[in-house]
Amino acid sequence: MAKKTALIKQLQGTTLVAKSDSKHWVVMDGGPNTGGSEAAPTPKELLMFAVGGCTAMDVIPILKKKRVPVENVEVIVSGTTREEHPQVFNELHVEYVVYGENINPADVERAIDLSTTKYCSVHAMLSKGVKMTHSYRIEPINAAAEKQPISAN
């Protein structure tokens, strides 16, 4: 069993830095109502990043191994939270956007299935208490170039 450790330090108010075994620092922050300055993602946002990043790190190599002609992959994670405290996620939806030409949808579906049922540890942990759904779409290569940066608003 591999033991993992993370250290979280207060900088000011609820502005925090965290470092784990990889020795990489991450900044987290809350809003002014909790003593933060909204200068970094919240821990809940990092959770969304974690599930999206984890599944993308499965899907991309699976598609590559299957020699699927993928030019780019985006993963968009959206969720709803409870109104009452603790304001945990009720539901998370993971949308995969796969850019390329002549992509077989069955290959994308299989890669997503393998990630969400076998490989993605973050998905496996969250799905125990959060309703997890997913969808995908295949877009032509030129759509990736035309796409505007994602807005959090």
Written as tens digits, the pLDDT of the chain (153 aa) is: 899 999 999 999 999 999 999 999 999 999 999 899 999 999 999 999 999 999 999 999 999 999 999 999 999 999 999 999 999 999 999 999 999 999 999 999 999 999 999 999 999 999 999 999 999 999 998 865 555 555 454
DSSP state of 53: H
102, part of any domain: yes
Tell me, yes or no, whether 117 and 47 share the same domain.
yes
11, part of any domain: yes
Tell me, yes or no, whether 24 and 50 share the same domain.
no
Tell me, yes or no, whether 28 and 83 share the same domain.
no
Tell me, yes or no, whether 28 and 50 share the same domain.
no
Tell me, yes or no, whether 86 and 64 share the same domain.
yes
107, part of any domain: yes
Edge-to-edge strand order for the sheet containing 89-100? Answer: 70-81, 89-100, 131-139
Q: For position 93, which CATH number holds?
A: 3.30.300.20
| Strand 89-100 with 131-139, pairing | parallel
Q: Which domain holds residue 108?
A: 43-146
Could you give the number of structural domains in the chain?
A: 2
